[in-house]
């Protein structure tokens, strides 16, 4: 059950309208790293979660992300307040109105025209929100890692948004949202490591002869070595060769006699004549072929 409280989780104080900034903030409203994507990701994970503790965690954070969506949407609408009236009533000359809507040099004028200076579920480039942003796989040890990364990406976007505004109220609200991304990362980290073991993800351990082998696939300058490819745990292969399994490295399939005969017939019918040099459409179009004699 969801209940809506008419007061925001964090107070929004916008000093003055700024349609350009409003457009940038759409990234956290209907963008890939935004609050709707986060809420949807954690909500769907919570529905399928079998562990009661993780289920509560996911549902709590999903609900809080909806609160953050409301905060971001409210900031966007406040930043668009002046533009909304000017656009609706046409109180400015065309050129001046366009400049006021597009002061930041982005697509805020398009957002204002299409959505009436509201808060549409798009990113800052006008691309509609999509469920393709949700990368849940249904395995807690994989999903928790994805959630940690999602919160980290959202934190960085908020940080960048804070760097492009000098509005103290907006900056403060964005700072709160950024900080909550950090708190969620910590919760997801604890939830992940409360599952032991949690690596590798899933049930199967992998093939031991390949699990801790590092193949140096970058040829040329000397390859850098570090804890990711050196030490007692790693087998470092300097010059990888094909067929590390010891086979011939070729793809094969076992066919029955009828399928093999059909395949052989097709190969004969479609075989290339390596002795021919046919004149093609490209040759004719290039104008370099001699004209036929009449």
pLDDT tens-digit series, residues 16-38: 988 889 999 999 999 999 999 99
CA angle 188, 7, 46 (to 5 degrees): 30
* The token pair that represents 143 in the structure block: 């999903």
- Of the candidates 55, 59, 102, the one whose C-alpha atom is nearest the C-alpha of residue 83 is 102
- Domain-embedded: residue 275: no
State percent of the chain over pLDDT 90: 75
Shared domain check, 80 and 215: no
- Domain-embedded: residue 109: yes
Shared domain check, 61 and 184: yes
- Domain-embedded: residue 33: yes
CATH number, domain of 165, equals 1.20.1260.10
Shared domain check, 170 and 68: yes
- Domain-embedded: residue 2: no
Q: Three-state DSSP class for 146?
A: helix
Shared domain check, 229 and 185: no
pLDDT tens-digit series, residues 69-84: 999 999 999 998 865 5
Tell me the residue range of the domain where 46 lies: 19-193
Shared domain check, 176 and 33: yes
Sequence-ordered list of residues with C-beta below 8 angstroms from that of 191, at least 6 positions apart, any chain? 53, 54, 57, 140, 144
Shared domain check, 50 and 185: yes
Shared domain check, 34 and 111: yes
What is the tally of structural domains in the chain?
Answer: 2
- Domain-embedded: residue 267: no
Between helices 140-163 and 35-48, what is the axis angle to 10°?
160
pLDDT tens-digit series, residues 103-127: 555 565 566 555 667 899 999 988 9
pLDDT tens-digit series, residues 221-236: 888 999 999 999 999 9
- Domain-embedded: residue 262: no
Q: Three-state DSSP class for 275?
A: coil
The pLDDT of residue 102 is above 60: no
- Domain-embedded: residue 126: yes
Shared domain check, 38 and 119: yes
pLDDT tens-digit series, residues 39-70: 999 999 999 999 999 999 999 999 999 999 99
- Of the candidates 55, 60, 99, the one whose C-alpha atom is nearest the C-alpha of residue 184 is 60
Shared domain check, 215 and 127: no
Per-residue model confidence (pLDDT) at position 284:
87
Shared domain check, 233 and 98: no
Per-residue model confidence (pLDDT) at position 92:
44
Cα–Cα distance for residue pair 113/86, rounded to 1 Å: 11
Per-residue model confidence (pLDDT) at position 85:
54
- Domain-embedded: residue 213: yes
């Amino acid at each position: 059950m969801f209940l809506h409280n008419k007061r925001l989780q964090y107070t929004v104080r916008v000093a003055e309208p700024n349609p350009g900034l409003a457009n940038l903030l759409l990234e956290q409203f209907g963008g890939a790293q935004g609050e709707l994507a986060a809420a949807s990701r954690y909500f769907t994970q919570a529905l399928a979660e079998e562990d009661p503790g993780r289920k509560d965690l996911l549902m709590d954070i999903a609900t809080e992300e909806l609160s953050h969506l409301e905060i971001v949407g409210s900031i966007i609408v406040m930043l668009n307040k002046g533009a909304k009236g000017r656009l609706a009533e046409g109180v400015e000359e065309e050129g001046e109105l366009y400049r006021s809507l597009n002061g930041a040099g982005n697509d805020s004028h398009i957002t204002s025209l299409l959505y009436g200076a509201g808060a549409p579920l798009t990113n800052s480039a006008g691309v509609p929100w999509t469920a393709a942003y949700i990368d849940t796989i249904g395995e807690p040890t994989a999903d928790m890692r994805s959630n940690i990364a999602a919160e980290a990406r959202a934190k960085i976007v908020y940080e960048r948004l804070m760097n492009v505004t000098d509005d103290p109220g907006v900056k403060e609200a964005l700072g709160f949202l950024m900080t909550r991304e950090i708190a969620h990362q910590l919760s997801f980290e604890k939830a992940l490591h409360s599952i032991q073991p949690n690596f590798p993800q899933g049930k199967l351990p992998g093939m031991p002869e390949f699990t801790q082998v590092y193949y140096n696939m970058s040829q040329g300058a000397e390859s850098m070595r570090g804890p990711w490819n050196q030490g007692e745990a790693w087998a470092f292969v300097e010059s990888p060769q094909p067929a590390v399994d010891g086979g011939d490295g070729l793809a094969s399939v076992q066919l029955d006699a009828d399928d093999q005969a059909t395949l052989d017939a097709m190969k004969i019918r479609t075989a290339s004549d390596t002795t021919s040099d046919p004149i093609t459409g490209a040759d004719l179009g290039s104008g370099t072929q001699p004209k036929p004699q009449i």
